[in-house]
Structure 1
Amino acid sequence: MPWLAPSDPFDPDQQAAPVSGIASRLVRHDSGLHSHQRGQLLFAHAGSIRIVLPGMMSMLPPIRVAWIPPATPHRVLIRGEVEYRSIYLDTSRIPPPTEGLAILSMTALLREVFERISHAPLETDWEKGVEANLLAVCLDELRAAHREPMLLPVPSDARLSRLNLEALPPELTGLAEAVGASTRTITRIFRRETGMSYQSWRQSWRLLKAVDLLASGESVSGVASELGFASDSAFIAFFRQMTGETPGRYLRGRS
């Protein structure tokens, strides 16, 4: 469809075609917790999006696309300015691109296909001709896309309500002091609710945030400083340990 202004109403579940796409720009947006009858492919064309889901969260930089299955409650948070693209699929007529909630790598080809679909008129016939081929390429690329470890489980225990997910989480002893619980108690909570130790969870948070910052144009030095690393080399070593690649190669290999 044509460019969608933030004030324009749009309900994907009311569309007749099995595929509908939108393109828009939002500033400091909070969608509130909601869900759709249709599955949603969400992509930040420029900027970064935070997605909050029951029991987990994710950062969505411009090198990632999220698949949110039908009827999945989710909340979209935008702190700055973002150009985003959404494609909604009626999965009773279009096979879902992957099983379950997923964050997938965005390839150059997939990016171009997304642009075409998200700007297509809502009345487009996706069952024949060029449009059917375009949709087929999109689904093929999504099925072949690399699943990224960008979904972070979040504990729901009330004792951790002070944990700020926007800032670098403190070390275990610092968190224990802040919430008034023992380190052993916090460790048990994280094991039970996330399947990880607190240290592993904190490292996963750092990776997720690092990819988000790097994809948004932040320098390695800036990311290393923001995430509490003693030096650029310490951050690069951490990144390589977590992903098997340097930050630059990681981003180039998935763009």
Structure 2
Amino acid sequence: MAWLDAHSTFDADSFTAPVIGLASTLGQHDSGVHRHQRGQLLYTRQGCIRITLAQQLCLLPPSRAAWIPAGVSHRAVMQQSVDYRSIYLIADLCSELPQQVCVIEVSPLLRAVLEPMATAAFATEWQQGRFAHLLGLCLSEIAEAARQPMLLPLPQDKRLAPLLATPARLPPPLHVLEHQIGASSRTIGRIFQRETGMGYQQWRQQWRLMRAIELLATGRSLSYCAYELGFASDSAFIAFFKSLTGSTPGQWLKPATDDRPQK
């Protein structure tokens, strides 16, 4: 097990053990683009991580986990303070796990299993005894976990990509985008359908949802989120959020408190 500070680097591939655990709290940290020979489960106990992939944007909200298969290039950016746990698994242990990056719900059982695994010594024996059972439970829980829609495909079209490349800038309404790139709404729709599998309006709504979760997870108020995301009122923002998630912002983020010590 390793504890990191904001200036530390960690290379799980330099170890021989089948499982390597990492426990850390970082703030304003940027991993840079990198990849692992191991699969990685990244779990945020508190805070939010933005993960950039080659053609996708992935948001890891508090109390959820991202599964990143071996060999996938990615960049993790942490704003403010993020308390997280990370488990790195050799390829032989990943055969039954997802083959693509995904964000999953973390069940109470998986949450309980991750802590001793993330804080286990590097010399831990994973083939037998208690830690073999923990590993088996962890693999089963990852494989069966419900996935959450926290990945957003990014268009690669040379006209659109520069306008939509800034993570915190609200994508413009369709009529504004038409004027900016000199293309009709039909052309823009075809490009987005081809490159993201969604129409522009659907893609923009998903972007707004992910940005809303990121803002809320870093302590922004409902009023701030509503203003930043172009809603006329707090109630309009809450209605939008609930229409896409089935929960109000407060209800959706509530699981983030589950790991905090009870008073």
Give your verdict on TM over 0.5: yes
Gaps of 5+ in 2: 259-263
The SS at the match of 2:72 is coil
CA distance, structure 2, for counterparts of residue 251 and residue 45 of structure 1:
12
**Retained in 1: the 8 A contact 2:79–2:218?**
no
Cα distance in structure 1, aligned partners of 2:29 and 2:56: 19
- The secondary structure found in structure 1 opposite 2:159 is helix
Distance change in 2, residues 1:94/1:17 (3 Å): farther
Shift in Å, 1:87: 0.8
Equivalent position of 2:101 in the other structure: 101
List runs of 5+ in structure 1 lacking aligned partners.
Answer: none
Report the Cα offset of residue 122 of structure 1: 1.0
TM-aligned CA distance change 1:93 to 1:58, over 3 Å = closer
Cα 1:174–1:101 change in 2 (3 A) is same
1:131 matched to 2:118? The reply is no
Is the 2:18–2:90 Cα contact (8 Å) retained in structure 1?
yes
Counterpart residue number, 2:231: 229
Q: Distance in 2 between matches of 1:193 and 1:66?
A: 23
Alignment-mate amino acid for residue 47 of structure 2: G
Of the three residues 183, 188, 200, the one matched with 2:190 is 188
Deviations 1:88-147 (A, max 9, x none): 111214544434221101234433322221111111111211211222222233233220
Which residue of 2 is the match for residue 52 of structure 1? Answer: 52
Q: Distance in 2 between matches of 1:7 and 1:247?
A: 33
Q: Find the aligned partners of 1:79 and 1:179 in 2 and give their Cα distance.
A: 32
Q: Distance in 2 between matches of 1:122 and 1:96?
A: 24
Percent identical residues: 51
Q: Is 1:55–1:156's contact at 8 Å kept on the other side of the alignment?
A: yes
The Cα shift of 1:168 comes to 1.6
Q: Partner of 1:150 in structure 2?
A: 150
- Kindly state the Cα deviation for residue 6 of structure 1 after the two structures are TM-superposed: 4.0
Residues 79-90 of structure 1 correspond to what in structure 2 (within 5 A)?
79-90=79-90
How far the C-alpha of 1:154 sits from its partner, in A, is 0.3
Between the aligned partners of 2:202 and 2:220, the Cα distance in structure 1 is 24
Change in Cα spacing, 1:139 to 1:219, as seen in structure 2 (3 Å) is farther
Deviation string, structure 1 residues 200-222 (Cα, Å, up to 9, x no partner): 00001111122233334434333
Indicate the residue corresponding to 2:28 in structure 1: 28
Deviation by residue 1:9-37 (Cα, 9 ceiling, x = unmatched): 43212221111011223333332222111
**SS of corresponding position for 1:158:** coil
Aligned length: 255
Q: SS of 2:163's equivalent?
A: coil
Question: Which secondary structure does the structure 1 equivalent of 2:113 belong to?
Answer: helix
Partners of 1:148 and 1:134 in 2: how far apart? Answer: 24
Equivalent residue for 2:178? 176
Matched-pair contact (CA < 8 Å) for 1:98–1:143: yes
- Give how far 1:176 is off: 2.8
Residues 247, 81 of structure 1: alpha-carbon distance in 2 compared, 3 angstrom cutoff: closer
What does residue 43 of structure 1 align with?
A: 43
Residue number among 231, 247, 250 corresponding to 1:248 in the alignment: 250
12-21 or 1-10: bigger deviation: 1-10
TM-score (norm 2): 0.86
The code of the aligned residue for 2:207 comes to: W
2:177 and 2:115 map into 1 onto residues whose CA distance is 43
Mean Cα deviation higher: 20-29 or 144-153: 20-29
Shift of 1:86: 1.5
Give 2:14's aligned residue. Answer: 14
Which residue number corresponds to residue 3 of structure 2?
Answer: 3
1:65 is matched by which residue type in structure 2?
A
